[in-house]
Structure 1
Amino acid sequence: MSLSPYAIPFFSSVPPSKLSKRNFYLCKAKDSLSHFDFNLFYNILEEWENCPNLHSCLSLWQEFSSTSDELPSISSTSLHVLLFNVRGLDLRWQEVLLLISSFKFDALILVETGECDISFHQKIFQDYRLLYQIGENRNGGVLILIKETFSISRVPCSIPNICVVDIKGEDNLRVIGVYAPDSKSWSWDDLSAFVSSKCVIYGDFNVDIMDDGKKADTLLHWADDQSLAHVVPNSHTSLRSNRVIDYAFIKGLNLDIQVYNGNTTSDHLPILSVISLNSSQYKLGKNIHWKVFSLFSEYTFSFWEENWNLSSIDITYNNYIRILYLLSGRCTIVFNLNKYRSALPAEIRSFLSYIRALSFRQLRTKCSTLKKEVCFLKKIAKKELNIFYATQLDNLIRLRNSSSSSSFWYRSKRFFKPSSSSLYGFIDISGQIVKECD
């Protein structure tokens, strides 16, 4: 098979005879494609025409498809963290060991530890590095344990019951352990200097966000100023009341959290959490440039018309399907997800952010008027999203079924028969059609 078929173009809108088919399609690509897509189309065209045969072209494009297929889906590494008010670590270190053996935590934040003998506990928790911050009395204290496999650095902090550590990686993650009894001598504003662009604050805050009124408003107002979002378990954490006082604040992270409902001798339930950390090897996405795919398929249409061999239809058909698959891989561009832009228009994104902020305010204030406003705005947002998605789908379908020269499928669908569930016969090795009656 020759890969340079300078035959009469398949389409009726034939360019002037002085222009070759190649030059015609290059001009067409320059007029209809972006600068990037034009260069991609030109490179594919060069590869097609410079390959001596179809097999060598398929082999060349196979390399691009292999790279594209091996690209992993967006994924993340996870950090498993335990938050536990132990009410005296000397009394409950065996309980902590049992939790570690069950869940294989990467980090532990233990609060209200009491005075700790670090040398003793280091022998017990041999796989972890221990960072301890004293409390304001003999019952206080925060101990953070990080697995030895992580590279960490402690952040100097003189505030009692506050322990700060950075876990080093592509983006440093700051973990802050907090024990905040009602008698604390410091304020929430004292923690502001330790909040980073990517951090999580775990602790026993002794504040129920939903039920503690002014105390909750003070904490949440500080969190809002620091762009921190609270992540709260869906059930109470205190065994002495139905209050939720053990939870986390996050910034620049995703976190899942839940209460451990197993037995404990403490008056607080252990809190299990998972922090999702994007891994650098997964920060790549891919995009298929379908306009290039469509135009190049249009360019090669006459080639397939000339070489469509019914005597060896299986081989021809397999080659055709394979080249469509490999061409899609050749038209696939790998890009950095950090440069990805949301598909939603800016005004819709801004409106959704406003509704989210308003809904958080309603949860804090429990204002019925605000609740009605949030519900009303959510209906408007849902309607706007549906209109946007419907418009996008309508444009896509209109382009796909248009009679313009840019629509490859409009021309190719004429060569496909309507699908049917009926089986009329088989083609045997000799190429003869064998029907059931035979």
Structure 2
Amino acid sequence: MAYSSGKLTKNLVRTLGPGRHGDGNGLYLVVDLSGARRWIVRVTVKGQRNRQGQPNRTDFGLGGADIITLTVARERALEYRRLAKQGLNPKYHCDKEVPCFEEVARQVHIERLPTWKNPKHGQQWINTLADYAFPKIGRLPVSEIDQPEVLQVLSPIWTVKHETARRVAQGMKAVLDVARSRGFREGENPVTVVMDARVLPRVKAKVKHHNAMPWRDVPAFYAQLSEQNGMAAKALTFTCLTGCRTSEVLKAVWDEFDLTELIWTIPEDRTKTGVEHRVPLTDEMLGIIEPLRALRSKCVFEGQRRRQPLSNMSMLMLLRRMEIEHVTVHGFRSALRDWAAEVGNYPREVAELSLGHKVGSEVERAYARSDLLEKRRALMSAWSKYVAGKACRCWSAPIWWSGFNLSA
């Protein structure tokens, strides 16, 4: 809903809610549901008609309100109206003011916010550019950025913060690609040229694995964990049995559980692979979650705040309180995978699918559409019995366990 007077102020530009807000003379502030704010101007080009024979009325974007001030937006809108009254289409006759790198980057961020699976990833994208690219090339017109400017940003961090540098390079490439598509640049993307030419030194990436508890140690740990009280302990026992990721467990809601068919279906928007993952439920898993239904919460593992899930750090902090060092929650997935290979002798496809991994190439996955649910049910049942100490007790307690404080 537009402001009643038809005139905007700096404060209104900053605080108005979603909608199209008029400033008068065809200038509007558009506020998206995400909170993104941008300017548009609507003009009618004199003497020109559209395909329906109506006056050629067109909206033109003037840029984001976080970059383009109200005063500048009014000046640009006035220029567009002046051209339209002369019968000139602003699209072809307005002198384009080449935006700076930061302006285009922030606009790209706003436009792509709805496409990011996790809002934190979108914020990380713009924050990385703000930390490393904006201080050096942020105020440069995008048309003037070439290989020397790219190297100016990447060279200082390429070897010392390699993964961060890669993200910066990807962000810069995306911004410059968009700038070219909008007519502000010509020629090949300088980031692509730098990367293809291997101008920067080669850095051998170190594979960093999550520290995992050996599978032989899991039953003894599980027995000690079962004596712990609190929601974090219940979530961690469930994680040990299912082999699911931390976020998948903590954000689980009751609507995802079919307790008749004994299946927990994790929707695609909550999986790392973007593919729906069905987890067969075992008696041990049901023994953990069924008592929690009495809480009447939407979340299975409710945190301290009513109807809100546990925090992401809750299970890791529990491990530390139990004096379990050098082990991560994610590492229990590795324990399950190793046990499936070394003890269960389950086929690779069954073990990988049990962890929610994609198996094979895209072509192979196109033909192999089954998720092998029943075979995975057998694997999960055997794993649950092993972890809960109901299988053959042929394992021996690890050396480090002998000094473990079971009363912690």
Same fold? TM cut 0.5: no
How high is the TM-score relative to the length of structure 1? 0.23
Higher helix share: 2
Q: Which has the larger radius of gyration?
A: 1
How high is the TM-score relative to the length of structure 2? 0.25
Higher strand share: 1
